[in-house]
Amino acid sequence: MTLRLGRHAFADDATLMMAIVNRTPDSFYDQGATWAEERALERVALVVEQGAEIVDIGGIKAAPGVEISAAEEMERVVEFVARVRAAYPDLVISVDTWRASVAAAVCAAGADVINDAWGGADPELVDAAAEGGAAVICTHTGGVTPRTRPYRIEYDDVVAAAIADTVAYAERAIAAGVAKESVVIDPAHDFGKNTFHSLELTRRLGEMVDTGYPVLVSLSNKDFVGETLDLPVGSRLVGTLAATAVCALACARIYRVHEVVETRQVVDMVSSIAGRRPPRRAIRGLQ
Amino acid sequence: MTRAVLVPGVLALLPEYAGLEDPVADLRAACLEAVRWLGPDPTILADEQGARVGRSLLRAAGFETGLRPSSTTAGLLVVGNGSARRTEKAPGHLDERAHGFDDDLRAALASSDATWPDLTLGDSLWASLDGIGRLREIRPPGVTATIDYDDDPFGVQYWVMRWQW
């Protein structure tokens, strides 16, 4: 399906890198490295240089921690979105938020995508996205409260649950007025899931792709990689890229990542193996 | 009146081997310009692979196969090239005789009054000479070539040449 992300449209076969940009002092991977606004702008410049099509700006870390009010979240992201919009007119700007009030404010500041990592916890978020002409990422969390860790959650069939919930969310977004070509689904690895769930979602990602909605995967350095390989944050890139390759083979469209260059190489390589992308430059044996 | 064109049988010219970037963009442009000058439905002088490349270039030039020439001009599309053993990185590695052979072949292609090299060396020097050998029999004396392309970007000697007689 052709994908429209706010101001930007992408061809049916385009794969997209969504680079994570944290406006937080405490996110798990970068430990606040881009908390300062200028550091965050440098991060945007770097990932644009590396070829990211999308930046995903977040003002609140996913894990439990100090409560951040909507006003403070806006303080962290709204003006920043406006600065990035002004500096990079061709860049897709996504904002990672579950709050409708924040979504409305960032759309007004120039955001193209609302990445609702908490699966529709705020029912009015889709209205804000529709109003702002933004795309929506519909994630599966198993119904957990935002910023909580999974505890003894089980599913009869985690993939069926992820499909049912994300498609229902997608249909709710469309009913609220979000354009159909602007709705993306995300199984949300680790969110409301144990490692076995996330591995199974990776293995069976093609079933999500078969819904017809473009699929986003957010795998980067997550705990399911860490537990699978018994490796701490900071040592999970290879495992992340292995999971990325499996998702690429299944035709995931958007990859939410810390490491843009490495992920792009893996996705391009897998796409070419799958026959969906020609090699960059082929001459061996063809001279 | 006869028009004749030489292009190399480079498989990278075929659409089924296209990458995102064209490694033979300059060569392709020269081939297409020469083939357009040649006109539709020429006789193709080539080995089997070369004939594929020739037909593909004709299609890319906008000539559908099966068209009859609109004028009385006869056309010859010769597909062939010099040695693929011109450097250590060349497909056939380096053969010291390759440059001398190609120099003589270039001279003979450029003017029908020059002496041809020993074409039986073609196999050992990885040169593609089936079409060129047939041109040698057909082309009359006193004809000189326009040379549109003369390079060996991958250790293989390519020419794009045009003749008219």
pLDDT tens readout for residues B74-86: 999 999 999 999 9
CATH of the domain at A135: 3.20.20.20
SS3 B41: coil
Looking at the domain assignment, is residue A26 inside a domain?
A: yes
Share of chain A above pLDDT 70, in %: 100
Looking at the domain assignment, is residue A281 inside a domain?
A: no
Residue B90 has pLDDT above 90, yes or no: yes
- For residue A38, the enclosing domain spans 3-273
Looking at the domain assignment, is residue A285 inside a domain?
A: no
Q: Point out the catalytic residue in the list A61, A222, A253, A264.
A: A222
Cβ of B23 within 8 Å of Cβ of A283? The answer is yes
Cβ of B24 within 8 Å of Cβ of A285? The answer is no
Residue A208 has pLDDT above 90, yes or no: yes
Looking at the domain assignment, is residue A280 inside a domain?
A: no
B155 touches chain A (CB under 8 A): yes
pLDDT band at B66 (very low <50, low <70, confident <90, very high): low
Residue A57 has pLDDT above 80, yes or no: yes
Cβ of B155 within 8 Å of Cβ of A287? The answer is yes
What is the rounded average pLDDT of the residues A119-135? 94
Share of chain B above pLDDT 70, in %: 95
Q: Tens digits of per-residue pLDDT, A229-249? A: 999 999 999 999 999 999 999
Share of chain A above pLDDT 90, in %: 87
Cβ of A287 within 8 Å of Cβ of B19? The answer is no
B23 touches chain A (CB under 8 A): yes
Looking at the domain assignment, is residue A188 inside a domain?
A: yes
Residue B70 has pLDDT above 60, yes or no: no
Q: Tens digits of per-residue pLDDT, B2-30? A: 999 999 999 999 999 999 999 999 999 99
Q: How many CB pairs under 8 A join A and B?
A: 35
Give residue A104's Cα distance to chain centre: 19
The pLDDT value recorded for residue A62 is: 87
Contacts of A282 in chain B (CB under 8 A): 12, 17, 19, 23
Residue A265 has pLDDT above 90, yes or no: yes
Looking at the domain assignment, is residue A283 inside a domain?
A: no
Report how many domains make up chain A: 1
The pLDDT value recorded for residue A267 is: 98
Backbone angles phi, psi at A207, to 5 degrees: -65, -35
Give residue B79's Cα distance to chain centre: 4
Note every long-range contact of B89-97, with CB atoms under 8 Å and residues 24 or more positions apart, other chains counting: B89/B154, B89/B155, B90/B154, B90/B155, B90/B156, B91/A285, B91/A287, B91/B126, B91/B154, B91/B155, B91/B156, B92/B125, B92/B126, B94/B155, B95/B124, B95/B125, B97/B121, B97/B125
Looking at the domain assignment, is residue A73 inside a domain?
A: yes
**Of B18, B19, B154, Cβ closest to residue A287:** B154
DSSP secondary structure of A143-180: TPPTT----S---S-HHHHHHHHHHHHHHHHHHHT--G
Looking at the domain assignment, is residue A129 inside a domain?
A: yes
* A180 counts as catalytic: no
Q: In a mutagenesis test of the B interface, which of A277, A280, A287 is the best target, namely the one with the most B β-carbons within 10 Å?
A: A287
